[in-house]
Chains A and B, each alone.
Chain A
Amino acid sequence: MDIRVLGWRYEGIRGGLANITIDLGSEPARWTLIQMPNGTGKTTTMTLFRAAFSHEAWTPERVRSLRANDETKTGLFEVSLSIDRKLFRLQLKFDYIAGTCVYWTTRSELSGGGLEEGWLLPSDIRRLMTSEFVRLFVFDGELAKEIRTVGKDRAAAAIKTLYKIDLLSELEQRMQRLISAEQDRASSVSTASEQKGVSRWKNAVSQCKATRTRLASEALTLERERTEQENRKIELEAKVATRITSDASLVVRSNALKAERLELDKQIFDTSVQALSAFRTPAKLGVRLLDRLHALGGKLNHLKLPKTISSEFFRELAEQQRCVCGREISDVEKTAILERADLYLADDQIAVINKMKLALRECRADDATFGDLVEALKGHLRLLSTNSRALDQVELDLIEAGDTEVESWRNELAGIAAKLPILYSKLEKINTREPTRQKILGCADDTNIPMCEAELERCEKKLATATNTRNFTHQASATRRLIGKLIAKSLDGLREHVRIATNEKLIKLAPSESLQVSKIGGALELASSGLVAKEGVSEGQSLAVAYAFLTSLLADAPYKLPFIVDSPAVSLDTEVRREVGELIPELFGQMIMFVISSEREGFADAFYDRDDVRYLTIWRDAAGKTATGDGLADFRSFHSAESLT
């Protein structure tokens, strides 16, 4: 990504920068040397550049400190940038009265390209431009001192940011977030530690499976016993029936009774159906109920319920131009009518209620209907009981005639008759799927197979969730550790890379001073030597180290950044200046250097023989008005107070 500064302008800014525009053109020179005497606004310009690149927040005091004079109410600093050949304009609009600074952006990539409020650089650049990072390329002389101060994390942080290692750190954090989200999702399963949660549900599943096996075995035993008892019952009944057939008179009696029983069963069935049908008609249940239903119908009639106006009426009315009263229906009335339409019943609801009203009013019944049917049913049941006893008597007659075998069979049948209901009940309790029956029978997951299976399914789901979460946590932690290792190894490699490159440049910059970086930890650590003790490094040496480091740092970066520097050589002695002047120009795609006239010697003059250099001079004339000069002639001939010192 290639970022270049195409120009900037000031309005209402202090230090003689009230109304100046610097236009470097759409293809700016590789090197721009701007000569500005002290007091004309170099520091302010650097501050504004840093703010523009890093979207700094401004306090009211800082905003007001930029004010050109008491009459000035607003100010502006605008930077034109080319980012991968797309034009961006960043504006800082200052309101000196309110003490605010608002960022605005123009983007040529957008159709229209108008001003939009906000700091709207491409997202990749927004991530990069922290205020700490911006200080590296909008170069702060103070940084030269700090960059090698133990405890400052600037050098390592710069490598991390520039070479996108911080994106890997973000990935690490993202993984931690995903682990937390997964654990939150599964928190309903277990609040215990992941492994404990898995163990708990594993035990629950094992227990459910054991219970299911036990219940299935119990059910099988009961089924077998039931089948045996039922078969034995059929066998014994057949034996008794065969014995009866040996006596002709008993056969006749028995057959007649059986025929009667068939008839009784039919009558009981028919009467039950009729009684149930009558029971479903409330009016037929009794005189009091009939009277109350008539009373309810009468009340509905008396109150004229339901109202005859339906919600449909109002919906249709809302669509009309005028109301039934003649007034015009505007949008306001329409909304109100539609909102209130829901208070009325719909057509189909009215129809149902009317039908009910009619039924209530007109229901008629013979109050004896249900009672008669019940009495008839009771009579049939009595006859059935008598029939059973008579059939029983047929067998008893055989016993009385001395048939001990029949007596023994009957006793066994009585035992089976007592046993079978118990077996049926036990089987129902163990097998029923009917929730109501399960409740009535007091079933639980350790006594009922369907409930046990449901519990097993629930526990298996919980186990799956707990296992999944535990595994995910383990996998994500392992992956995070790999990323952590990658970050550490990458940083080590990058630091070493930058360190070696820095030292190579230092040999050229200060060949006589044994300046070497021994380690890039949080900060730059210099190799101890007689010349360079930690406290003994001069400002010039610090600057040389900083330039060597910065140029090494930025050389291979995926971002080509402009290098903007204030007084790049003022603290260097002439010899080192010359070295810096020779070395630095080759290292940046675009350099904007603010210099004072005393820096021309040794530093600026290293550019005089080069092409692709732009020279600007900004000064205040005798009347205090800001003037600008464009070109080498003005640049070389300019004299100011500091050049004489």
Chain B
Amino acid sequence: MKSIREEVATALDEVLKEAVGESDEFKRRFRQLIENTSNGNVVDTDVVEVIRLASVPDELDE
């Protein structure tokens, strides 16, 4: 059986795998954000930086 920590890591892998439109940089920073959140080490600017890396669909500008 997997450890509890592995359960969360597996869930994170699956979620990021499904996020097909997102860049590798976003995925890397999102993973970091989740890790920092678990350590209680997150400030608003970190969150905003990750949000800004998320993709914006082209159709929004049409």
- Of residues 162 through 180 on chain A, the ones whose CB sits less than 8 Å from some CB of chain B are 163-165, 167-168, 170-171, 174-175, 178
Contact with A along B1-38 (1 / 0, CB 8 A): 11111011011101110110000000000100110011
A482→B54 CA distance, assembly (Å): 11
- CB proximity of B59 to chain A, nearest CB, Å: 11
Partner of A178 from the list B8, B11, B48 (CB cut-off 8 Å) is B48
- Of residues 471 through 491 on chain A, the ones whose CB sits less than 8 Å from some CB of chain B are 471-472, 474-476, 478-479, 482-483, 485-486, 489-490
A373 within 8 A of B: no
* Chain B residues closer than 8 Å to A127, beta-carbon distance: 40
Across the interface, name the chain A residue whose C-beta is closest to B21: A478
Partner of A489 from the list B4, B15, B37, B60 (CB cut-off 8 Å) is B15
- CB proximity of A476 to chain B, nearest CB, Å: 5
- With A178-B44, A178-B48, A471-B60 as known contacts, state yes or no: A479 contacts B30, CB within 8 Å: yes
Q: Are B8 and A493 in contact (CB under 8 A)?
A: yes
Contact with A along B28-62 (1 / 0, CB 8 A): 00100110011010101001101111111100100
Q: Are A489 and B38 in contact (CB under 8 A)?
A: no
* Chain A residues closer than 8 Å to B56, beta-carbon distance: 471, 474-475
A500→B15 CA distance, assembly (Å): 23
* Interface residue count on the A side (C-beta < 8 Å): 36
Partner of A478 from the list B14, B18, B37, B54 (CB cut-off 8 Å) is B54
Q: Are A557 and B30 in contact (CB under 8 A)?
A: no
* Chain A residues closer than 8 Å to B10, beta-carbon distance: 493
Q: Are A171 and B54 in contact (CB under 8 A)?
A: no
A132 within 8 A of B: no
A485→B5 CA distance, assembly (Å): 17
Q: Are B15 and A123 in contact (CB under 8 A)?
A: no
Contact with B along A432-471 (1 / 0, CB 8 A): 0000000000000000000000000000000000000011
A175→B15 CA distance, assembly (Å): 18
A475→B47 CA distance, assembly (Å): 11
* Chain B residues closer than 8 Å to A497, beta-carbon distance: 1-2, 4, 7
- CB proximity of A376 to chain B, nearest CB, Å: 70
* Chain B residues closer than 8 Å to A165, beta-carbon distance: 8
Partner of A557 from the list B2, B4, B11, B18 (CB cut-off 8 Å) is B4
- With A471-B60, A475-B51, A475-B52 as known contacts, state yes or no: A485 contacts B15, CB within 8 Å: yes
- CB proximity of B40 to chain A, nearest CB, Å: 6
Q: Are B8 and A163 in contact (CB under 8 A)?
A: yes
A151→B15 CA distance, assembly (Å): 29
Across the interface, name the chain A residue whose C-beta is closest to B19: A482
- With A168-B34, A475-B56, A486-B15 as known contacts, state yes or no: A174 contacts B47, CB within 8 Å: yes
A127→B39 CA distance, assembly (Å): 12
- CB proximity of A500 to chain B, nearest CB, Å: 6
- CB proximity of B14 to chain A, nearest CB, Å: 6
Q: Are B3 and A490 in contact (CB under 8 A)?
A: no
* Chain A residues closer than 8 Å to B44, beta-carbon distance: 174, 178
Q: Are A500 and B1 in contact (CB under 8 A)?
A: yes
* Chain B residues closer than 8 Å to A490, beta-carbon distance: 7-8, 11-12
Across the interface, name the chain B residue whose C-beta is closest to A555: B4
A494 within 8 A of B: yes
* Chain B residues closer than 8 Å to A482, beta-carbon distance: 15-16, 19, 30
A486→B34 CA distance, assembly (Å): 10
Q: Are B51 and A175 in contact (CB under 8 A)?
A: yes
Partner of B38 from the list A123, A167, A175, A476 (CB cut-off 8 Å) is A167
A400 within 8 A of B: no
- CB proximity of A186 to chain B, nearest CB, Å: 14
* Chain A residues closer than 8 Å to B47, beta-carbon distance: 171, 174-175, 178
- CB proximity of A8 to chain B, nearest CB, Å: 28
* Chain A residues closer than 8 Å to B15, beta-carbon distance: 482, 485-486, 489
A121→B38 CA distance, assembly (Å): 19
Q: List 20 A-B contacts (CB under 8 A).
A: A124-B40, A127-B40, A163-B4, A163-B8, A171-B37, A178-B48, A178-B51, A474-B56, A474-B57, A474-B60, A476-B51, A479-B30, A479-B50, A479-B54, A485-B15, A489-B11, A490-B7, A490-B11, A494-B7, A494-B8
B residues lining the A interface (CB < 8 Å) = 1-5, 7-8, 10-12, 14-16, 18-19, 30, 33-34, 37-38, 40, 42, 44, 47-48, 50-57, 60
Contacts A483-B34, A489-B14 known; 6 new A-B pairs at CB < 8 A = A163-B8, A472-B51, A475-B51, A476-B51, A490-B7, A493-B8
